[in-house]
A and B are shown apart, each in its own frame.
Chain A
Amino acid sequence: MPFPAAGGARVPLRTAKCIRFARHGCANRPFYHIVVMDKKSPRQGHVIEQLGTWDPLVNAHGEKLCSINLERTTYWISKGALISEGCSMLLGLAGLLPIHPRVYLLAWRNRRAAAAQKVQEKEDAAQVEN
């Protein structure tokens, strides 16, 4: 590794910082670090600080795990770090920030799709009966 995943990047003072994901899994197994980075640096670039982890695959108990260093996250937010959409959705679900509108959007679309599928199934069943 050319630099540690946990952080230590040196950036100029007034650069825009961003809280976002850095992918650390392998092929077909995503795993992300929640990190603070220079906004213009690439996804796998040098990290200023690691704030947590995010495992998007469901575990054996039916859970998705996320760990957040709340103290540092609030510090960086108060310092004016931008938050990527995925991260703000996560932080919203965690209860630190208000829930992101995109979560509502996806939720109602999913609900609508589920309802539509149910209706479709019913119609199919009626057709089969007829």
Chain B
Amino acid sequence: MNIGVRSNLVALGCGARLWYPVHEAMVTLTGSQTVRWIKPRWVPVAKSKMFRIPERKPLPLEEEVELRCLYNNYYMAMRAIRRHLCEERLRVSDTSELAIKAEEEQAEHDQLMEHNSQENLRVAALREARIKKEFEADLARVTASKEKLAKDAEKAEEEALRIINETQEFVKTFIKREDFEKAIETALANPVDYNFAIDQQGNIFRGRSTRPEDVAEEDKEKLLFAVQS
């Protein structure tokens, strides 16, 4: 409970008011009062005590001698112990369990590295074999595709030759300029009737004016793809 009421400065018991608060009473809301009977940190040494030197109790002579002896022995022993511990540490750090463990670890590491290199060699051999195989496969594929291309080219040549031959055959039926009049005349002389009719049985009757009765039963022309109903 820091919420409280600060009382006024309280005077010392002698009745004189000091210029600094000797204590500040905190009255909390619960009613309890905390008093800190202490000089604040920022207050300097009192004027009357400014030049007082605290008296030092003199050590009895025999005690002093004894103590000096004891301290000399103690420091000597401490120096020896420190040196001993230091030597021990240095000694232990080379041949200690830790060092042995480190050695073992190094050996294990070497072994693992050896294993690793062997594994690398094995994998390299496998890889080379695989690459060789792949190269051969590539070669085979290329030769196969070459052959196929050659075959295709041959085929295409044959096709072209065939087309040329056919066209040459076809050229023979062309109407030449000099025969033009004659061809017109023959066409006019022989008109062709392309009309035809189909009955329900799929019979074809050529000609515009042909009647079904005119055609004999055996001469009737059938539709190629008559509907099979």
A–B contact (CB under 8 angstroms):
yes
Partner of A100, one of B74, B85, B88: B74
Q: Whose C-beta in chain B lies nearest to the C-beta of A104?
A: B70
- Given A104-B70, A105-B67, the answer on whether A97 and B89 have CB atoms closer than 8 Å is no
Q: Give Cα distance in the complex from A40 to B74, angstroms.
A: 25
A41 contacts B by Cβ under 8 Å? no
Q: Give Cα distance in the complex from A97 to B73, angstroms.
A: 12
The A23-80 residues at the B interface (CB cut-off 8 A) are 74-75, 77-80
Secondary structure dominating the interface of A: helix
Complex contact B82–A78 (CB within 8 A): yes
Which residues of the partner chain B approach A74 to less than 8 Å between Cβ atoms?
85, 88-89
Partner of A77, one of B70, B71, B77, B81: B81
Complex contact B67–A78 (CB within 8 A): no
User: What 0/1 pattern do residues 73 to 99 of A give for CB contact below 8 A with B?
Assistant: 011011110000000000000000110
Complex contact A77–B82 (CB within 8 A): yes
- Given A75-B89, A78-B88, A78-B89, the answer on whether A101 and B82 have CB atoms closer than 8 Å is no
Interface size counted on chain A using CB atoms at 8 A: 12
Q: Give Cα distance in the complex from A102 to B67, angstroms.
A: 8
Q: Give Cα distance in the complex from A122 to B7, angstroms.
A: 53
Complex contact B70–A101 (CB within 8 A): yes
User: What 0/1 pattern do residues 48 to 88 of B give for CB contact below 8 A with A?
Assistant: 00000000000000010001001101100110011001101
- Given A75-B89, A98-B77, the answer on whether A80 and B82 have CB atoms closer than 8 Å is yes
- Given A75-B89, A78-B88, A78-B89, the answer on whether A97 and B71 have CB atoms closer than 8 Å is no
Complex contact A78–B85 (CB within 8 A): yes
Which residues of the partner chain A approach B88 to less than 8 Å between Cβ atoms?
74, 78
Q: Whose C-beta in chain A lies nearest to the C-beta of B77?
A: A98
Q: Give Cα distance in the complex from A16 to B82, angstroms.
A: 15
Q: What's the minimum C-beta distance from A90 to chain B, rounded to whole angstroms?
A: 14
Q: Give Cα distance in the complex from A101 to B72, angstroms.
A: 9
Q: What's the minimum C-beta distance from B83 to chain A, rounded to whole angstroms?
A: 9
Most A CB contacts (10 A, CB to CB) among B63, B70, B88, B89 go to: B70
Q: Give Cα distance in the complex from A75 to B89, angstroms.
A: 7
Partner of A101, one of B67, B85, B86, B89: B67
Which residues of the partner chain B approach A101 to less than 8 Å between Cβ atoms?
67, 70-71, 74
Partner of A78, one of B70, B74, B86: B86
Which residues of the partner chain B approach A78 to less than 8 Å between Cβ atoms?
82, 85-86, 88-89
The B22-66 residues at the A interface (CB cut-off 8 A) are 63
Q: Give Cα distance in the complex from A43 to B91, angstroms.
A: 34
Binding site for A on B (CB under 8 A): 63, 67, 70-71, 73-74, 77-78, 81-82, 85-86, 88-89
Binding site for B on A (CB under 8 A): 74-75, 77-80, 97-98, 100-101, 104-105
* A77-B85, A104-B70 known, 8 other contacts, Cβ within 8 Å: A78-B86, A80-B86, A97-B81, A98-B77, A98-B81, A100-B74, A101-B67, A105-B70
Of all A-B residue pairs in the complex, the 7 with the closest CB atoms, nearest first, are A78-B85, A101-B70, A78-B86, A98-B77, A78-B89, A101-B71, A74-B85
